């Protein structure tokens, strides 16, 4: 894990402030209501995994120690089995009723080979009657166009640092479709700016459908948003829900 946004504690401290709750969190909490066991791949700071762990067995997997340090300390964190590992090759030797990969974590896998490896991980950990769900941004929506200093500038309320100014910027490789975006946090008074550069891919629904099929996974429903709306070509999200073939 070389992305400072997830591996540097100075930057990780802003993750929950920027990503608290949300419609994806609410949807997944409801979606998991009948699952006795959950595998959360790319669990990050563990907000969702910890919320699910009061009624079921939950395992959270993430490659970033700094993120897992936050996860272990959060309320309910002691109920989760935290595993430091890469979603492309982790093998836990058990199967789960539900496998989830949220927060657009699927997009950090930049090549088709990486994405195929993650789908293989999902397949090998799904129970015979289990279900999977994950999300990725629809490239048609071109959300990256909003990640400019002008459009992304915001203020965050940090419990110790006070009001922190934050913004993003991006560049896109037209050949690969990979977007490199930078995230900046300006610490008040000191003027110090903490920055990280991240890369994410924007696979199409058509490529995902083919990869899922080749991985032995069947999609039963495609959502276009975490409000539960059906997928349309213009939807902001691509959210497959499915099972083993």
| C-alpha neighbours within 13 Å on the C-beta side of residue 106 | 29
Q: Report CA torsion sign: 109, 237, 6, 39.
A: negative
DSSP structure string for 68-93:
HHHHHHSTTGGGSEEEE--TTT---S
> Could you give the CA distance from residue 158 to residue 11 in angstroms, rounded to a whole number?
12
CA 206/CA 204 separation, integer angstroms: 5
Which of 202, 206, 238 lies closest to 222, judged by CA? Answer: 238
Report the pLDDT value the prediction gives residue 55, as an integer from 0 to 100. Answer: 87
pLDDT of residue 189 exceeding 90: no
Residue 127 class from Cβ within 10 Å (0-12 exposed, 13-18 middle, 19+ buried)?
middle
- Per-residue DSSP letter, 142: -
Contact (Cβ atoms closer than 8 angstroms) between residue 95 and residue 127: yes
Percent of the chain with pLDDT over 90: 96
- Residue showing tokens 């900046």: 184
Across the chain, what does the average pLDDT equal?
96
Segment 128-151 mean pLDDT: 98
Res 21 pLDDT > 90: no
- Assess whether pLDDT exceeds 70 at residue 234: yes
Residue pLDDT, tens place only, 22-59 = 999 999 999 999 999 999 999 999 999 999 998 899 99
pLDDT tens digit sequence for 76-90: 999 999 999 999 999
Q: Is the pLDDT of residue 228 over 90?
A: yes
pLDDT of 244 strictly over 70: yes
pLDDT at 192 over 80: yes
DSSP character at residue 143: G
pLDDT at 214 over 80: yes
Do 212 and 222 form a contact (C-beta atoms < 8 A)?
Answer: no
**Strands 37-41, 96-101: parallel, antiparallel or unpaired by DSSP?**
parallel
SS3 state of residue 29: helix
- Percentage of the residues of the chain whose pLDDT score is greater than 70: 100
Q: Are 44 and 65 in contact (CB under 8 A)?
A: no
Mean pLDDT throughout 157-164?
95
Strand, coil or helix: 233: coil
pLDDT at 140 > cutoff 90: yes
Look at residue 1 in the predicted model and tell me its pLDDT: 53
**Residue for token pair 């090998």:** 124
The 3-state DSSP class for residue 152 equals: helix
* Beta bridge mates, 167: 184
Mean pLDDT for the stretch of residues 91-117: 97
- Distance, in Å, from the CA atom of 64 to the CA atom of 106, rounded to the nearest integer, reads 15
């Amino acid at each position: 894990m070389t992305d400072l946004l997830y591996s540097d504690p100075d930057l990780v401290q802003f993750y929950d402030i920027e990503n608290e709750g949300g419609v994806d969190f609410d949807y997944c909490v409801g979606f998991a209501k009948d699952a006795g066991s959950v595998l959360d791949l790319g669990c990050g700071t563990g907000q969702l995994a910890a919320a699910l762990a009061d009624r079921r067995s939950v395992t959270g997997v993430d490659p970033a120690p700094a993120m897992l340090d936050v996860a272990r300390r959060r309320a309910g964190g002691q109920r989760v089995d935290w595993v430091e590992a890469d979603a492309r090759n982790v093998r836990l030797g058990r199967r789960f009723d539900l496998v989830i990969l949220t927060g657009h974590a699927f997009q950090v896998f930049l090549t088709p080979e990486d994405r195929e490896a993650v789908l293989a991980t999902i397949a090998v950990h799904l129970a015979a009657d289990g279900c999977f769900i994950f999300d990725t941004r629809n490239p048609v929506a071109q959300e990256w166009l909003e990640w400019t200093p002008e459009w992304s500038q915001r203020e965050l309320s940090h419990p110790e640092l006070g009001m922190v100014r934050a913004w993003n910027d991006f560049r896109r490789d037209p050949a690969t479709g990979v977007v490199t975006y930078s995230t900046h946090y300006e610490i008040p008074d000191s003027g110090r700016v903490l920055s990280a550069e991240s890369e994410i891919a924007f696979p199409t629904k058509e490529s995902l459908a083919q990869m899922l099929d080749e991985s032995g996974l069947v999609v039963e429903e495609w959502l276009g948003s975490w409000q539960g709306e059906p997928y349309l070509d213009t939807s902001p999200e691509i959210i497959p829900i499915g099972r083993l073939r």
